[in-house]
Chain A
Amino acid sequence: MSLEFVDESIGQNEKGTLWRLLKYLGPHKGRVALALLLLLGATVADVLQPILVKVFLDRYLIPRHFPETQLILLGAAYLLLVIMTAGLNVLQLLMFQTLALDIIQSLRVELFDKVQTLALEFFDQTPVGVLVSRITNDTQAILDMFMTVLSTFVQNIVIVIGVMGGMFALDPRLAFYCLFILPVMGLVMWVYQKVSSPVFRVSRQRLALLNAKLNESLQGMAIIQAMRQERRLRREFGDVNEAYRKVRYRNTQINGLMLRPLVDVIFMFSLIVVLGFYGTQSFFHAINIGILYAFVTYLSRFFEPFNNMMDRLNFFQQAMVSAERVFRILDNPSRRPEPEGADRPAITRGEVRFDDVSFSYDGETDVLKHLSFVAKPGQTVALVGHTGSGKSTTINLLMRFYPVERGRITIDGHDLKSFSEDEIRSKMGLVLQEPFLFVGDIASNVRLGNEELDDEAVQEAAQFVQADQFIDHLPDGYHAPIGERGATLSTGQRQLLSFARTVVRQPTILVLDEATASVDTETEDLIQDSLRKMRHGRTTIAIAHRLSTIQDADLILVLHHGEVVERGTHQELLAKRGLYHKMYLLQGGLKESAVGQ
């Protein structure tokens, strides 16, 4: 199945990843130490309980000696230990968990900060869902791992050591015999990890495939039904589903063979060792029953920690995969272009000059070849051409979304590279082909995070682009809520709103990617009218899909496969009867033949 996607390189370097994750504990040394101390206290209090029972049995019950005060003290001490254990455990558990949460918070913010510095290429190459999942789901999986490592592994290892210590305090020789349990359990865990992790990995992949298949089928159901492919897709889904069942079943088998049933067997073996030891001893001298009691009690507690740890191994593995993915992003060398040199010039007049600019996204094929042009302050330069002709690339370079590597772009005579990020963003206003609206309200979509813009500025901008006409009709006006992607507004309204957010910043240079989506004629008129107003007095670099909208441009560049094939004004280009002329006729449709006939 083509959908099966296995990134083999992930999960190969677990040790390095784990080590790197644990480094995040560094800044929290104090809290870690305190939490460990609490855990230690709780474990000691816990381990002491059977010893008190042993004292009671050996010193008082078996000799039938019952001094009231001592017994009351003993009982009180026991109950106190029970409560202490519980109290300390509550505190340490809470501490470890909040610690893990704090670490994840800082990891998330670190990741977000990193994403902010990545070049746009990274976003082009990474599907939205994948990146979102890195920032949220993967960090969540790492959170689980911190909780697991801290809460399960550290705790249970401390408990095991504590119980072991209690055993040595009672009877070093027998405790020494019982040491065999540790390597055996170690071996069981190691084998389990070896055997189950590939199965678990496959199961995760198959689940992902299953969900992808389901999701896609739901999205494309109309086509599936119109093309009568229900039966085939049911079969295909059935296969994927069955493959997932098989691997889950295999997982259950391994768990059944290696987890609790096996641990129970080892427990009973250790019971045999302890009973055998005392039984044999009893042939030579009298036995201390209290110690035997305490030992058996210890044994019965000794194995639960191992069960807990093994239950968690798979979480751990999942988290390691997530961590590795997150670290890959953190280590990604791609950087958004940053200002170079010491000078930070300002954009004042708005003269844009492209000087022999070539560009390639992949380093192989040039999508832009030797582009040169000048837009004098206040002029409009229009870029026309088919998809893939290099129009969007030109804008991407001008907006410094991508670095200029060959050739030079200057604004007011200064290299584009030398401007500060702020200068570019505040003086160059971009209008995107597809106006992207954020969840919020009308005003927040005009402001776009710039809190300095007051309501008046927002309203003025809306009036300027004539968006106020529809905004005033909304129930809450400028505070009318906008849902996901602005679905409540029409395409035309969204476009007007995107004009407003550009105009409100009073840019010196306007960069337009003309919308292609069809809107009704009334809105279309409004849009064209607003565009004219916006362009007035501003240097404008515009991508035009409809040639009719750029007839008054000072310069029109006709791009074809990354090269300028024609340049001039509308009239000049028409007179040339070249590519532009052809495009123009084609947009006119039948008219050519009608006129020709």
Chain B
Amino acid sequence: MRVFAELMWFFKAHRRQYISGVLFIIMGSTMSLIPPKVVGVVINHLTTHTMTVRFLLEALGLILATAVLSYGTGYLWRVRVFGGSIQLATELRDMLYSHFTKLSPEFYHHHRIGDLMAHATNDVQAIQETAGSGVLTLVDSITMGALVVAAMAITISWKLTLICLLPLPLMAYAVTRYGRMLHDRFMVAQEAFSDINDRVQEYVSGIRVVRAFGQEAWERRTFVELSRDVVQKNVAVAKIDALFDPTISVIVGVSYFLAVAVGAVFVVGGSMNLGNLTSFTLYLGQLIWPMLAFGFLFNTVERGSASWDRVKALLAIKPTVVNRPDALTTAPSGGIRFDIESFRYPESDRAVLADVHLHVPAGSTLGIVGRTGTGKTTLMRLLLREFDLTRGDISIGTTSIYDVELEALRSAIAYAPQDDFLFSMSIQGNIAFQNPDAPFSEVERMARLADVHEDIVRFQEGYETLVGERGVTLSGGQKQRVSIARALLQDAEILLLDDTLSAVDARTEATILNALKETRQGRTTLIATHRLSAVEHADQIIVLDDGRIAERGTHEELLRQEGRYAEMWSRQQLESLVEQGGAAL
């Protein structure tokens, strides 16, 4: 029940809606007491032969009025209470989304997207149910239960009431118990389901391998096995499910039996009449729902509060990279200076970068080469402040990047990351992602610079072509070039290309690099790459090895040093050199 208290901020904000909703529930419950009573009174008049036309009309009129009124209240509380819970879910999703946009990359290292999705869907759903059906059952089972019991005890017979109520708590217990068992077994069944889901996912993704190696029969066997497992675990759920309603019907049946049998004794004794007995059994019927609901309530609230705890914990996580007090709001400008003593990712105890001291003059190009995992990407991520340095400083011009607001810093940097992620929107929308209002001519110009224009116009819908599941699938090279165009459109002073040319061929790479050279004169470019040809013309190249600068210099200087760079270069060139010599150029 604590979850209701913790959600009070929401109920308070929408108190009118909730208070009126609760009042309508109570009104509806109260009105539902009328028809059984009327039936009883009519029966009494019939048994005593005192029925008059006038009384009959009055009685029927009363039921009619109840019908109309309870229809109104029934509609109103539903719209208020369920409407409120939908509102809550909407607000929670907004809160989560906006929270997600503020969290730093570190957060995304620790959390899988699937889990985050589950919080925003399943958990929000469970909280919505708590605020909807939960509130309803809480209010309804208490007021309805209390009212019906009061009506039975006060207007008919408290003794009979007591006797007939005896089996009912058993029902609430059974419902809670079964509910929990159902939930547990359902979770097991869900796991089996997710196993088969993973398996099928893998099968479909690897279909070429499956076909090339003729493993169809084996795949089928595995699939049938997993599918059978799902069925077995669902049968376990069905077993409890099948017990649910019948168990309740037995308890209710016994209660009815007691009502009629003991009630008959009272009727014979004269303390009750037939009409009252009829009303009583009708009331008893009305008690079933509150009892059931009470049982459900525990499970709903239990699930809801577990979900709320998860959502709350998520919302409590603070971004690790934040604006520092008195940070400047103007974008920094000028050369970049890295003074990195050492840097390690928060979850790791190994330094990714150490003793990286480097100056990149404004307007120059820096090439960063080295093997995978030597810190090339990290260097760029530090500049973007995806992570904060603990020892050392990075500055642009004369200002430390930590003295600038994130927004201002990032406005000075255009970034084409290693993983060429595009959004499921049109190609134009993707290129103009940073500035959706950019004129089309600009978008096209950037696409030309990134040498992807020709590819785009070859699609049927040109720049309007949708990317992703609902549209075309771009090749790796095309994605990279769109991602470069997207970065270029930002027209920032600093451009970061993080191995963004790996999937394009040598000719395209050369075209793009040439175009960049022409259009980005006077501006700073950082290129991380495996392929040395991409940085050959850079003003300065650093070779990273295990997080340290192993060599630095221009292409020619590095070749002259005959170190690691020269070795890499010759490895990449060796065979062709030999062959060119032999091919008599």
Contacts and interface: CB of A to CB of B under 8 A. Distances in A.
A257 interface: yes
A104 B189 CA distance: 15
Most buried by A among B116, B117, B264: B264
B235 A98 contact: yes
Contact of A79 (B82, B105, B242, B257): B257
A216 to B, nearest CB: 6
A211 B247 CA distance: 39
Nearest to A501: B213
B441 interface: no
Interface string B198-236: 101110111111011111111110011001100100110
Interface in B82-131: 82-83, 86-87, 89-90, 93-94, 97-98, 100-103, 105, 108, 113, 116-117, 120-121
A548 B208 contact: no
A450 B215 contact: yes
B510 to A, nearest CB: 7
A228 B410 contact: yes
Nearest to A89: B246
A252 interface: yes
A588 B577 contact: yes
Contacts of B421: 219-220, 222-223
B131 to A, nearest CB: 13
A269 B67 CA distance: 8
Interface string A492-536: 000000000100010000000000101011000000000000000
Contact of A268 (B67, B235, B242): B67
A113 B582 CA distance: 56
Contacts of B417: 222-223, 226
Contacts of A67: none
Contacts of B267: 61
B424 A261 contact: no
Contacts of A252: 78-79, 82-83, 86
* Size bracket of the A interface: 35 or more
Contact of B78 (A230, A255, A574): A255
Interface string B381-421: 00010100000000000000000000100110101010001
A101 B235 contact: yes
Interface in B246-297: 246-247, 249-250, 253-254, 256-257, 260-261, 264, 267-268, 274, 278, 281-282, 285
A33 interface: no
Contact of B580 (A97, A120, A595): A595
B278 A224 contact: no
Interface stretch (B341-349, B499-507, B515-523): B499-507
Contact of A595 (B94, B247, B585): B585
A589 B243 contact: no
Interface stretch (B57-65, B322-330, B357-365): B57-65
A116 B204 contact: no
A5 B468 CA distance: 13
B220 A234 contact: no
Interface of B is mostly: helix
Interface stretch (A277-285, A371-379, A455-463): A277-285
B248 to A, nearest CB: 9
B436 interface: yes
B426 to A, nearest CB: 6
B375 to A, nearest CB: 15
A2 interface: yes
Interface stretch (B157-165, B178-186, B305-313, B469-477): B469-477
Interface string B149-193: 000000000000000000000000000000000000000000001
A583 B215 CA distance: 38
A113 B254 contact: no
Interface in A562-597: 570-571, 574-575, 583-591, 595
Contacts of A143: 234
B49 interface: yes
Nearest to B410: A228
Contacts of A386: 505, 507
Nearest to A2: B425
B120 A214 contact: yes
A516 B426 CA distance: 28
A148 to B, nearest CB: 13
Nearest to B386: A222
A128 B201 contact: yes
Interface string B15-58: 00000000000000000000100110011001101010100100
Given A229-B433, A296-B282, A591-B580, A94 B66 contact: no
B39 A275 contact: yes
Given A94-B242, A211-B117, A217 B101 contact: yes
B67 A265 contact: yes
Interface of A is mostly: helix
B469 A97 contact: no
Nearest to A516: B503
Most buried by B among A5, A212, A261, A516: A261
Given A61-B267, A230-B102, A249 B83 contact: yes
A97 B235 contact: yes
Given A2-B425, A212-B424, A56 B60 contact: no
A49 B207 CA distance: 60
B548 interface: no
Contacts of A282: 46, 49, 51
B235 A586 contact: no
A296 B279 CA distance: 10
A219 B112 CA distance: 10
A130 B200 CA distance: 11
B93 to A, nearest CB: 5
A272 B35 CA distance: 10
B573 A591 contact: yes
A280 B51 CA distance: 9
A216 B423 contact: yes
A484 B42 CA distance: 72
A215 interface: yes
Interface in A425-452: 425-426, 430, 432, 436, 438-439, 448-451
A238 to B, nearest CB: 6
B100 A218 contact: yes
B75 A300 contact: no
Contact of A293 (B64, B242, B261, B278): B278
A242 B574 CA distance: 61
Nearest to B98: A234
B220 A82 contact: no
A101 B410 contact: no
A245 interface: yes
A146 to B, nearest CB: 12
A26 to B, nearest CB: 19
B107 to A, nearest CB: 9
A-B residue pairs, 6 tightest by C-beta: A449-B218, A425-B214, A261-B74, A449-B215, A82-B253, A589-B533
25 contacts: A53-B260, A61-B268, A112-B220, A112-B223, A127-B469, A131-B200, A143-B234, A218-B113, A220-B421, A226-B386, A227-B486, A256-B78, A261-B71, A268-B67, A269-B67, A293-B281, A386-B507, A387-B477, A425-B212, A426-B214, A432-B212, A448-B209, A450-B213, A520-B371, A586-B510
Given A268-B35, A432-B208, A588-B576, 8 more contacts: A75-B257, A82-B250, A131-B204, A241-B90, A249-B86, A271-B63, A387-B477, A520-B371
Interface of B: 35, 38-39, 42-43, 46-47, 49, 51, 53, 56, 59-60, 63-64, 66-68, 70-71, 74-76, 78-79, 82-83, 86-87, 89-90, 93-94, 97-98, 100-103, 105, 108, 113, 116-117, 120-121, 193, 196-198, 200-202, 204-209, 211-220, 223-224, 227-228, 231, 234-235, 238-239, 241-243, 245-247, 249-250, 253-254, 256-257, 260-261, 264, 267-268, 274, 278, 281-282, 285, 371-372, 384, 386, 407, 410-411, 413, 415, 417, 421, 423-426, 429, 433-434, 436, 466, 469-470, 475, 477, 486, 490, 502-503, 505-507, 510, 530-533, 536, 555, 568, 571-573, 575-577, 579-580, 582-583, 585
